Structure 1
Amino acid sequence: MSRTRETPSTDAERSDLRADCARCFGLCCVALPFAASTDFAIDKAAGQPCPNLQPDSRCGIHSQLRQRGFSGCTVFDCLGAGQKVSQVTYRGRDWRRDPDTARQMFAVFPVMRQLHELLWYLTEALAMPPARSVHRDLRRALERTERLSRGSALELLDLDVAALRGEVNVLLLRASELVRAGIAGRKANHRGADLIGAGLEGADLRGANLRGAYLIAADLRRADLRSADLTGADLRDADLRGADLSDSLFLTQSQLTAANGDGATKLPPTLVRPAHW
């Protein structure tokens, strides 16, 4: 078991923060826009249903998304925001059968996605024993964010999410600092750094600050990323084969899915090995 985090109750707390497409009305396939690129085969405007979306709200090419040019869809993770909007905010009213609410629902979804991202990070921080001195404040922030996520559609649309993110980020950064302070030796500070394509094979990045770093296509084979803060780091096409991310801080499933790894890549217990590795 990791020395930097504890696991009791975290699975239960995260259960609502995992996408359940069977309880969602395909909101990510309608509400969000995308442009033709290496990630998407076509252009699609916000509010326009993807042509691959079926009447039952399922994707018609789900098992072939990468092969058909929609790798961007495989990376996206709503963190449970889709079913929250579908089943809680709108009480099971499908936008197809209630078109008058469709536009509003599509605007609410991105707000909920941000709230659920904050809930994921706060839950993560509460599982870190070295951050106990801020656990009370983290718990209060989590309870407040959860309460806000259960507000009405109009309340959600009126919410200043940027301000909330700013407040929560102060606590998350403090939690990160407390954990990384316990790592011996000098810790690298690459916050927001341009490390695109960087050769970091076997690098000792334990306890490093990589918040917001651009690690696109970086060579991180066999790198030690234990207790490294990866909040918002761009890992698209990064090579994580054999890397140790077993207790990396604030790593998300979508970051992993955007990268490349193998059976030797060590992952946190809360995340799963992407199918394409």
Structure 2
Amino acid sequence: MTAPEDLNRLRADCGSCFALCCVALPFQKSTDFAITKRAGRPCVNLLADFRCGVHTRLPQEGFRGCTVFDCFGAGQQVAQVTFGGVDWRTAPDTAGGMFEVFGVMRHLHELLWYLTEAVSLPRTRPLHEDLRRALGKVRRLTEGSAEAVAAVDVDAVRGDVDALLTRTSELVRGGVKGPTRNHRGANLMGAKLRGADLRGAHLRGALLIAADLRGADLRNSDLIGADLRDADLCGADLTDCVFLTQSQVNAARGDAATRIPSSVDRPPHWT
């Protein structure tokens, strides 16, 4: 299991960022956002000190989408390392470049999260050398200049990393005895999966929006990219599942009986 300290640099530290996600990213008026905002325009809730004016009541104000976003620490990397602590308000000429770099950096940091988790797993020992090599390569990309980061071909990097993550998934899921379910990319919106045996299931990219997963056994499953918005995980066991992120957990519903990996925190809204 991934040691939390290995992932600390990949956790969002909003106090060390310049509210990049609140400015650089666009969003459409929907059930997740109360308004439409163009990329590069500050959110109406953004204060002068880069704090959010409705942070403590985002869902009530119609900004639930903000509560499930995770930059994987890309914000503070761009703000404090790439741009050396100079913010886009003090130096407006940096705004466009900073926002562009943030978009790339967020993807790279997400890959770092998955690789860091993968290299910590005992079952991936045959891949550890390749995983560490990939981890170092991606980390070096994040440490480049603003121009260098902006020029990174994210799709190419993701393609190389994805091959290793796929092999990681196979090794983890292969440790489960008996047949396992392959629901990769499946549409399971609202599916009735209460108490289902999903040990070692391939759920990569699956749509599990509002699925009933109460009491389901998801141990050793692959959840990379799975959409868990409003999925009911009360009493479910996600022990040793792989590639589960904080944003996925935050988007789902759970309770005190829900078992999750140590790499993610139990959301405060879970009962």
**TM exceeds 0.5?**
yes
- Match for residue 51 of structure 1? 44
The aligned residue for residue 53 of structure 2 is: 60
- Kindly state the Cα deviation for residue 11 of structure 1 after the two structures are TM-superposed: 2.6
Equivalent in the alignment of 2:220: 227
Q: What is the distance in 1 between the residues matched to 2:4 and 2:202?
A: 26
**2:209 maps to which residue?**
216
How many Å separate the matches in 2 of 1:265 and 1:203?
14
Which whole-Å CA distance do the structure 1 matches of 2:29 and 2:269 have between them? 22
Q: For 1:229 and 1:121, how far apart are their aligned partners in 2?
A: 11
Structure 2 residue aligned with 1:141: 134
* Structure 2 residue aligned with 1:162: 155
In structure 1, what is the equivalent of residue 101 of structure 2?
108
Partner of 1:178: 171
Runs in 1 of length 4+ with deviation above 2 angstroms? 10-13
Say which SS state the counterpart of residue 120 (structure 2) adopts. coil
Measured after TM superposition, the shift of residue 12 of structure 1 is: 2.8
Consecutive unaligned residues in structure 2, runs of 5 or more: none
Q: Would you say the 8 A contact 2:4–2:262 is kept in 1? A: no
1:188 to 156, 162, 181: 181
Query: How far apart are residue 273 of structure 1 and its match?
Result: 1.1
Alignment deviations for residues 79-131 of structure 1 (CA, whole Å, 9 cap, x no partner): 10000000000000110010001011011101000000000000110111111
The Cα of 1:142 is off from its aligned counterpart by 0.4
Q: What's the secondary structure of 2:52's corresponding residue? A: coil
| Offset, 1:247 | 1.4
Partners of 1:62 and 1:124 in 2: CA distance? 29
Task: Kindly provide the amino acid, as one letter, of the partner of residue 71 in structure 1.
Answer: R
Q: Distance in 2 between matches of 1:185 and 1:246?
A: 18
Number of aligned residue pairs: 270
Q: Which residues of structure 1 form unaligned runs of 5+?
A: none
Letter in 1 for 2:23: V
CA distance in 1, matches of 2:76, 2:44: 21
**C-alpha separation in 2, matches of 1:271 and 1:176:** 18
**Which residue among 235, 241, 245 is the counterpart of 2:234?**
241
Once the two structures are TM-superposed, the CA of residue 178 in structure 1 deviates from its matched residue by 0.8
> Aligned partners of 2:121 and 2:79: how far apart in 1?
32
Q: 1 CA distance for matches of 2:127 and 2:6? A: 18
**2:34: which partner in 1?**
41
Other-structure match for 1:274? 267
- Alignment map for 1:82-121 (pairs within 5 Å): 82-121=75-114
The one-letter amino acid of 2:42's match is P
Cα distance between partner residues in 2 of 1:149 and 1:97: 24
Greater shift in the superposed pair: 30-39 or 10-19:
10-19
Deviations 1:143-178 (A, max 9, x none): 110000011111111110001001000001101101
Give the TM-score of the pair, scaled to structure 1.
0.96
Could you say what secondary structure the match of 1:126 adopts? helix
